Amino acid sequence: MVTEAMKMETNIMAKEDSVIAEVKFKEGEKVAKEDVLIVLA
């Protein structure tokens, strides 16, 4: 997953191969520090 803040992109990598089970936000939605963004299965 790639996030963007203040025009900087940050890659977020899973520790092992996974499948996204649920996305907890919508594109363009603001999120707070430590919000759960996705659930992996």
Structure confidence by residue, pLDDT tens digits, 1-41: 777 787 888 888 888 999 999 999 998 888 888 999 999 98
The answer to whether residue 37 is domain-embedded is yes
Are 40 and 18 in contact by the 8 Å Cβ rule? The answer is yes
Q: How high is the pLDDT of residue 25? A: 92
In what helix (H) or strand (E) does residue 1 lie, and over which residues does it extend?
A: none
The answer to whether residue 21 is domain-embedded is yes
- Please tell me the total count of domains within the chain: 1
Q: How high is the pLDDT of residue 16? A: 92
Q: How high is the pLDDT of residue 21? A: 96
The answer to whether residue 3 is domain-embedded is no
Range of the domain at 38: 15-41
The answer to whether residue 6 is domain-embedded is no
